[in-house]
Chains A and B, each alone.
Chain A
Amino acid sequence: MAEAAIELIGINKSFGAVRANRDINLEIARGTIHGIVGENGAGKSTLMSILYGFYQADSGEIRVNGKPAAIKSSNDAIATGIGMVHQHFMLVDNFTVLENIILGAESDALLKSSIAKARSELERLEREYGLEVEPDAIIEELPVGLQQRVEILKALYRGAEILILDEPTGVLTPAEADHLFRILRQLKDQGKTIVLITHKLREIMAITDSVSVMRQGTMVATRETKQTTVEELAELMVGRRVLLRVEKGEAKAGEVKLSVKNLVVKDQRGVTMVDDVSFDVRAGEIVGIAGVAGNGQSELLEAISGIRKAVSGSVTLDGRPIDLTGAADPGELRQRGLAHVPEDRHHVGLVLAFEENENSILGYHNDKRYLKGPLLDVDAIMADAKDKIEKYDIRPANPRLRTANFSGGNQQKIVLAREIEQDPGVLIVGQPTRGVDVGAIEFIHKRLIAMRDQGKAVLLVSVELDEIRSLSDRILVMFAGRVVGERGPEASEGELGLLMAGVEQKEAAE
C-alpha cells in the first residue's frame, strides 16, 4: 500500500461542553478514495474542518505526506495541498466561473493578468480531468452539478493533491451523482487522494477503497470497503444492530377512516397539481403515495390537512366532511383525530427558535392538559416534554434547548412525538425521514408500523421508494397530479419506477 497522505493523531476538539471530536486517529493512503461515515452530529464535518484549517484542534497532530503540518487557517491547508468541496458551495453566485476560481488565489494585484492565467490553466485542467465548464458563465445560472464542478476546479487550481468532499451528493440528481463519481475515479487515477464524507452507505460501497466510521465524536472503526457490508457499517454508525428493512405482520384493515373523492387542487399559479384523485385509507393500514417530487403529493397532503384550498372534490374523516375551502381550522381537525406531520418540518412543523418543550405541544397548546386557567401550565408542559423525550429517545434530552440546535433526526422525532402522542385516528405523514440519519429512520419506521398495528389509519407520502415499499400495505403512485396506479407492497422497484416516470403499463396493471 502507498504511504499515508494524511495522518491524524489524537485530535480533540470541543465546542463549549460538546466534545465534537475525541482522540481521533486516522490514516489515509495516498491515491485512494477514503469514506468517512457517521450519523449527523457524529463529528465528521468538524474533523474535516480542522483538516481544512477552518477550526483548530484543541490538541493532536496533523501529518501530511509524512511531515507534520501546522494548519492554522484555510490558507495553510491550501498551501499544504488540501482542497475542500463544502456541502453548501462556497461560491459567489453572481460572479463568473473564472472569478470564483481566482478568488483568493489571484496571481497579481490587477485582475487582468490573473484572469488570463486562470483561463489557460483552466483549459489544461479541463483537458486533464474532463471537467468541462464554461469559464465566463455566471454561477447562479449553472445547474447544481456544474456548480459543484467549479468547486472541484477551484481546489485543483490551487494545486490540491488531497480533496475533501462533504456530503457531495446531497444536492445532486442520481445522474449528476454518477457523473461526479466518474470524475472522482479519474482524479484518483491521476494520483489524487480523496476523502468523501457522507451518510449514504450505498455511495460508500460504490466508490471508496476504505472507510472509517465515526460515532459521537469518536472514530469507531476503519475497514477495507471490499471486506465490509452495508449492514456492518450501519451497525457501527449507530452502535447497535440496525434493521434497514422493518419487519411487520399482515395488515388487518378495518373501516374506512379517511376518504378522498375526486379531489382537484391548484397551486398559486393556477396550475392543476392534484387532478381528480380518489382513494380510501382504512383503520390498521398504511397507504403509501410514491412519486417523483413535484407531482402533486405536497398539494394533496396540504389539501387533506386543511392548509390548502381545494377546487373541487371531497375529503371525509370518519364519514364527516373536511372543510376544503382553505378556511378549515387545523385545531378542529386535530380534535377530530387527524394528525399531520408536514413535509417541511423547518417551516411548517416547528418553530425553530422555540424551545423543545414549546414545540412539543404546539398546535395542542389550547388543550386543557397544558392550561392552568388562561395561562400555560409550564410544569405540565415540561413533564409532558420530558416524557416524550424519553419515549422517543430525543437527544440531547433537554426540553429547554432551542429546537434549532437539535439534529434533523431529533427534530423530526419532536414532531412525530407531538402528533403520535395525541393518539389520533388518522396520521398523515410527509417525508418522515428526509435528512434523518440511519438510527432515527429505523425508530421512525417502527413507530409508524406500531401506529398501524394499533388500528390507526396512516397516509404516508415519501419520495424515497425504499421507504414506501418497506412500510406501505398499499402503494399509490402519483404522476402529474393523477394516481396512475395502485400496487401491493410486493411490487418491484422497477415496476414502481416506470409508473413514477409516467410510463403506462397495461400488462403490469393486469
Chain B
Amino acid sequence: MSFFDVIIQTLDSTIRLSVPLLLACLAGLYSERSGIFDIGLEGKMLAAAFAGAAAASVFHSAWIGLGMAILVSVSLALVHGFASITHRGNQIVSGLAINFVAAGSTIILGQAWFQQGGRTPALAPNERFEAIKLPGADALRDVPIFGPIYSELISGHSLLVYVAFLAVPFTWWVLFRTRFGLRLRAVGENPAAVDTAGISVAWLRYRAVICTGILTAIAGAYLSMVQSGGFVKDMTAGKGYIALAALIFAKWRPVNAMFACLLFGFLDALAIRLQGAPLPIIGKVPVQLMQALPYILTVILLAGFIGKAIPPRAGGVPYVKER
C-alpha cells in the first residue's frame, strides 16, 4: 500500500470519526449561544442512539429509527429546557441528570426489550443509513490524485455524514444571516436587551434547545445506525464531553467547530492507525498511550493554545426579570 493510500485512508476515517463530534458540537452551539449550557449532549446522544437502533430494528426502517431518535432526544432537550428556562434550575445539574438517566435507562430498556445484554439486535442493511456513491465515483477512480480523493474520501459516505458537514455552513448562515440567529446570539449575551425589545426570552431559548435536540439525535443515530450496526451500551464513550471541549476550542463558531472536530477525529484516526506500528526513533509505543493521545492533546489545547475563549455572557445564568 502506497503512502498516498495510507493518507487517504487515515483522512477517510478522520471524517467518519469526527461526524458524531461535529453534530454534537453544533448541537451544543445552538444551546450555548442562547445562554443555556448543555452538559447533557452525551446523554441525549446516547438515548438517541438507542432509540434509533431499537426503532429501526423493530420497524425495519432506518427513517423510522431516525425519527424515533429525534423524538427522544428532543424530549430530553425539552426536559432540560423546562428545568433551566421555565424553572431557572441549575443547568449543570439538569444536564448531568439527563446523562445519568440516559446511561441507565438505555441498558435497562435494552435488556427488557431485546434480552441481548443491553444491546439492540444487529441491524440489517436496509435498517441502516448506507453509503452513498456520488455520481462518477467509479469512473473517476483511476484518475491520479483527484480520483482517489473523490471516490474514497468524498464519495461513499452515509447520508448522515453529508448532513453533518452541510450543517456547518447552514448553522453559520442561520446564526449570522437570519433574524432568528441575531436574536439567538443576543439572548445568550444579554437576555434583558431581548426582553425589552419585545421578544420572548423563554420561547427563543426553547427553540434553541429543540435545535440542540435534533442535532444530538442525528449524532446518536449516526453512532448506532451508521458507524456500528446496532446499539451497544455506553457507545457514546464521552463524545458529548469532547464535543463540548471542541465547542470551547472553536470559540462557539460553526466553521471553527468543524475544524476542531476534524482535528479530534484525526487524532483518533491516527491513534487507531499507529496502534502496534513502530514509530521512527521512538520505537513501539504502547497502545494505551496512543489511545490517550486525543485526550492529552485536548487538555493541552484547552489549557493554553487557543487564547482566551469568551463564552456567551449570559451562559448558564437563568433569566429573571429585575425590578
Contacts and interface: CB of A to CB of B under 8 A. Distances in A.
Interface of A: 15, 20, 45-46, 49, 52, 54-55, 73-75, 77-78, 84, 86, 88, 90-95, 99-100, 102-106, 108-112, 114
Interface string B169-196: 0000000111111110110011011111
Looking at chain B's contact residues, is the secondary structure mostly helix, strand, loop, or mixed? helix
B190 A93 contact: yes
Given A74-B197, A100-B193, A104-B198, 20 more contacts: A15-B323, A74-B198, A75-B198, A77-B198, A86-B196, A90-B190, A91-B190, A91-B193, A92-B193, A95-B185, A95-B186, A103-B193, A104-B183, A104-B197, A105-B197, A108-B179, A109-B178, A109-B179, A109-B180, A111-B177
B124 interface: no
Contacts of A88: 192
B173 to A, nearest CB: 9
B199 interface: yes
Interface of B: 176-183, 185-186, 189-190, 192-199, 313, 321, 323
Given A74-B196, A92-B193, A106 B177 contact: no
Contact of A111 (B178, B190, B192, B193): B178
Nearest to B310: A94
Contacts of B189: 92-95
A111 B179 contact: yes
B14 to A, nearest CB: 33
B211 to A, nearest CB: 16
B312 to A, nearest CB: 9
Most buried by B among A15, A100, A108: A100
A20 B185 CA distance: 34
Contacts of A75: 198
Given A45-B323, A74-B198, A90-B193, A106 B313 contact: no
Contacts of A100: 193
25 contacts: A20-B323, A54-B195, A74-B195, A75-B198, A84-B196, A90-B197, A91-B193, A92-B186, A92-B190, A93-B189, A95-B186, A99-B182, A103-B183, A103-B197, A103-B199, A104-B194, A104-B198, A104-B199, A109-B180, A110-B177, A110-B178, A111-B177, A111-B179, A111-B182, A112-B177
Contacts of A103: 182-183, 186, 193-194, 197, 199
Contacts of A93: 189-190, 313
Contact of B198 (A15, A78, A95): A78
Contacts of B181: 111
A88 B192 CA distance: 10
Contacts of B192: 88, 90
Contact of A102 (B182, B185, B195, B198): B182
Contacts of A109: 178-180
A112 to B, nearest CB: 7
A69 B199 CA distance: 20
A110 B179 contact: yes
B182 A106 contact: yes
B208 to A, nearest CB: 16
B190 to A, nearest CB: 5
**Top 7 A-B pairs, shortest CB-CB distance:** A104-B197, A75-B198, A90-B193, A74-B198, A90-B196, A106-B179, A92-B189
A108 B178 CA distance: 9
A92 B312 CA distance: 11
A46 B323 contact: yes
Contacts of A52: 196
A187 to B, nearest CB: 20
Contacts of B183: 103-104
A191 to B, nearest CB: 24
